[in-house]
Amino acid sequence: MPPDEPDRIIHADNLDVLPTLPDGLFTLVYLDPPFNTGRAQARQATSHVRVSPADDAVAGASGTITGFAGKQYRRVRGDLLRYDDRFEDYWGFLEPRLAEAWRVLADDGTLYLHLDYREAHYAKVLLDALFGRECFLNEIVWAYDYGAKAKRRWPTKHDTILVYVKDPARYWFDSTAVDREPYMAPGLVTPEKAELGKLPTDVWWHTIVSPTGREKTGYPTQKPEGILRRIVQASTREGDWVLDFFAGSGTTGAVAATLGRRFVLVDENPEAIAVMQARFAGIAGVEFQEGVRAVG
C-alpha cells in the first residue's frame, strides 16, 4: 500500500472485499466473527481442509485439491462433521474468509480468531489443517466477570482467542511492548517486582465493556479496548497494517489509531458502520468506503 493510503472503513460483504486486498499486507488480522448461536447467516460452502499428501488413502483421492504449500485438503472436515451437525454451515461461512486471511497476512504476521465455547474446539482442529499445526502459537482464554447466571452448569464466563502465525520462523512478537498487569499475589514477589507488574500470560482477566463507561458505543458485541490493545502491542510495530473484517463497533481500528498503526475495517452491517462513523468522527485521515473497490 502506498504510504499516503488512508486508513479505511468499508461497508460491504467481507468476502467481496478480501480478494481486492494485496497479498501479504497485514501484520495483524484480528477476527471476531458471529458466534454459531443458531442465528441465520449468509453462507458460501467450501471443502478446503488440509491433510498430509503422504496419506495415500487421501492424497490425490476424488474431491481433494492442492492448497497452501502444496498440501491436500479434504478429510479432517469430513471427520469432524460426524460429531457436530451444525458445524458444516458455520465453517462453510467462515472457512473461505480464513483462507483469505492467510493470503493477506505478511510473512511475519499473526491471526487472532476470537470465538466462544460453541466453535473454538472445532476451529482449532480446522485451523491446524488450514494454516498448519506448526503455525499454532497460543490459545488465549479471556475471562470476565459479568453475564451468564446458569444454575444447572458452571456459568460461562470466558471467550477463546486462537492465535496462528503465517511463518513460525518469522512472526513478530514483542512482549516488552505489552502493558504490564498487577500480580494477583503481590506479597509473594519483591516490592520492586510488585511495582513493575508482570507480563500477561495466556489467561487474560479483563472486564467487559462497562454499560456506563466511556468506551460504550451501544454496539451489542463490542469488545474492550484493553483486549485489543494487548494484541496490537504484541503483534505489530508502529506503522504496520491491521485488518479486521468483522469490524463491528470498530475497536480494532480505534486501538490501532491510538498506537500509531494503520488499519482496514470491513463490515456489512449498516448499524456497525453508523457506530464507526460516530466513533471515528474526530480521527483525521479515515476514509469511509461504500461498496467494493481495489485497495492499494
- What is the structure's pLDDT at 147? 65
Least confident of 22-36, 52-66, 115-129, 147-161: 52-66
Q: What are the cell numbers at 257?
A: 489509531
Question: 46-55, 89-98, 146-155, 253-262 — which is least confidently predicted?
Answer: 46-55
Q: Report if residue 48 sits inside a domain.
A: no
| Burial class of 194 by CB neighbour count within 10 A (0 to 12, 13 to 18, 19+) | middle
Rounded Cα distance, 127 and 95, in Å = 9
CATH code, domain with 261: 3.40.50.150
- Inform me whether the pLDDT recorded for 32 exceeds 80: yes
pLDDT at 3: 64
Strand 203-205, strand 262-267: pairing: unpaired
At residue 250, the pLDDT reads 96
Give percent of the chain with pLDDT exceeding 90: 58
CA distances from 79 to 49, 54, 84, 173 (A): 11, 18, 10, 34
With 0-12 / 13-18 / 19 or more C-beta atoms within 10 angstroms meaning exposed / middle / buried, residue 75 is buried
**Starting at the edge strand that comes first in sequence, how are the strands of the sheet with 26-31 ordered?**
203-205, 136-143, 158-165, 105-115, 26-31, 241-244, 262-267, 7-11, 286-290
64 or 179, which is more confident: 179
Band (pLDDT 50/70/90 cuts) for residue 260 is very high
pLDDT for residue 66: 44
Return the biggest CA–CA distance within the chain.
Answer: 64
Q: What type of residue is 190?
A: T
Band of pLDDT at residue 208, cut at 50, 70 and 90: confident
Instruction: Dump pLDDT digits (tens) for 14-24.
Output: 999 999 999 99
DSSP 8-state symbol, 181: B
How far is residue 71's CA from residue 113's CA, in Å, rounded to a whole number? 22
Asked if the structure places residue 41 within a domain, the reply is: no
Whether 196 maps to a domain, the answer reads: yes
Strand partners of residue 138: 163
Count of H-run helices and E-run strands, the chain: 8, 12
Mean pLDDT for the stretch of residues 200-208: 91
Structural domain harbouring 114: 7-35+106-290
Answer yes or no: are the C-beta atoms of 20 and 295 closer than 8 Å.
yes
- Cα 45 from Cα 96, distance rounded (Å): 8
Average pLDDT of the residues of the chain: 83
Q: What's the number of domains the chain is made of?
A: 1
pLDDT at 238 over 60: yes
Residue 75, Cα to own-chain centre: how many angstroms? 25
Task: Over range 242-265, report the average pLDDT.
Answer: 97
On the question of pLDDT at 61 being above 60, the answer is no
The residue to which cell 451468564 is assigned: 148
Give the pLDDT of residue 245: 97
| Cβ-contact 112, 142 below 8 angstroms | no
CB 39 within 8 A of CB 118: no
With pLDDT > 70 as the criterion, what percentage of the chain qualifies?
79
Give a yes or no: residue 100 inside a domain.
no
In a domain, 211, yes or no: yes
46 within a domain of the structure (yes/no): no
Q: What is the pTM of this model?
A: 0.84
H or E element, residue 244 = strand 241-244
Neighbours of 262 (CB within 10 A): 24
Determine phi and psi for 207, rounding to 5 degrees.
Answer: -70, 160
